[in-house]
Amino acid sequence: MTTSIVACTATPEATGDEATRAAIVHRPAPMRAIALIARHELRTALRSRMVPAFAALFTVLTTGISLAGLGASGELVVQGFMRTAVSLASLALYVLPLLGVVMGAAAIGGEDGGAELLLAQPVGRAEALLGRTVGLAAALALVSALGFGAAALVVVLGAGADGIAGYVLVALGATAVGIVGVGVGVLVGVLTRRRTAAVAWALALWFAAAVLYDLVAIGVLQIVGNGQPGPWLVALLSLNPLDGVRAIALIALGADVLLGPAGAALERLFGAGGGMAVVIGSLTVWMVAPIAIATRCFARRDF
């Protein structure tokens, strides 16, 4: 098939407006573009249905847990920070990564005119993706701050501030794992063409990390570690940021007191040989690597 081009002669003359337009062409600096996009994404997330719903649910659960202690005579009393932190460590390490991964996948996954419109502006693709990710991470951090903050207020008013340091560590750790979830969700969104598929994959990954992984880890320990905690346990906990943070939180809250001999073993393993540093390093890698891969894939994607 050949192309037939008919000669064209009728083109209008350029007007004097061209010089003006050429002079005011504007490109935002990369960091400013990231900040602008992040702020817009945060506002959009906070006005969506999902984030406020998660925030409300999480806050109800956290304050409920802080109030759920029973006194000697069976009446409801406010728990101290340590007991609240132990309970919240379990809850938040499920809820916040779930919110993060779903939020990231839903925001980035699928094709819509919104993404095209943003990428048609004078910003780089990396800036657009990083800005959106930072905005989503900020939204998750706000949800976390609201939930942990409300519960902390209840505890301080009802039982004092004793043990607040461990509580803050749990809050920070859970928020960090939530942000890891955002990064993984963003990566899933970048790799998936349809939003529904992105969210489905995100949920599957969360289920694998939050539920299946522990079962597999126990099996692996039985096979290669003879069921004994040791370097294999450190390695397995480091591979899954959710478990790694849970281990750190338990140690900070007094694992030997909470879990008996198993907790003491955990504390021994992580206290010595840089186990704690390995988990923190793993968490850092988990926060950075998905975003780095997503940015690379996003730069190559057609819209």
Partner 1 sequence: MISYQGFTKQFGRVLAVHDLTLELRQGETLALIGPNGSGKTTTLKAALGLVRPSHGRVAVDGHDVATDGRTARARLGYLPQRIAFPDGCTARELLRFYARLRGAAPSHTERLLARTALDGAADRAVEGYSGGMRQRLGLAIALLGEPQALVLDEPTAALDPSGALLLRDILADIQREGITVLLSSHDLAEVAALAHRIGIFVAGRLALLGTTAELVRGLGVPGLEDTYRRTTTTRLIA
- The contact set with partner 1 (CB under 8 A) reads 1, 3-18, 20-22, 24-28, 33, 36-37, 40, 43-44, 47-49, 112-114, 116-117, 119-124, 300, 302-303
CB of 170 to partner 1, least distance (A): 32
CA distance 132 to 270: 35
**CA dihedral over 166, 172, 176, 182, signed as positive or negative:** positive
CB of 104 to partner 1, least distance (A): 15
Helix (H, G, I), strand (E, B) or coil at 43: helix
**CA dihedral over 24, 30, 32, 38, signed as positive or negative:** positive
Q: Which is nearer to partner 1, 126 or 249 (CB)?
A: 126
Tell me which residue has tokens 């109800």.
Answer: 60
Q: Which is nearer to partner 1, 37 or 184 (CB)?
A: 37
CB of 7 to partner 1, least distance (A): 7
CA dihedral 50, 52, 56, 62 (to 10 degrees): 90
3-state secondary structure 232-287: HHHHHHHHCHHHHHHHHHHHHCCHHHHHCHHHHHHHHHHHCCCHHHHHHHHHHHHH
In this structure, what are the phi and psi dihedrals at residue 260, rounded to the nearest 5 degrees?
A: 70, -140
CB of 121 to partner 1, least distance (A): 5
CB of 103 to partner 1, least distance (A): 13
CB of 67 to partner 1, least distance (A): 32
Q: Which is nearer to partner 1, 115 or 155 (CB)?
A: 115
CA distance 58 to 195: 24
Q: Which is nearer to partner 1, 114 or 260 (CB)?
A: 114
| CA neighbor of 188 nearest in space, from 291, 274, 75 | 291
CA distance 89 to 166: 10
3-state secondary structure 17-33: HHHHHHHCCCCCCHHHH
CB of 58 to partner 1, least distance (A): 20
Q: Which is nearer to partner 1, 107 or 179 (CB)?
A: 107
CB of 41 to partner 1, least distance (A): 9
Q: Beta-carbon neighbour count of residue 2 at 10 Å? A: 4
CA distance 65 to 151: 8
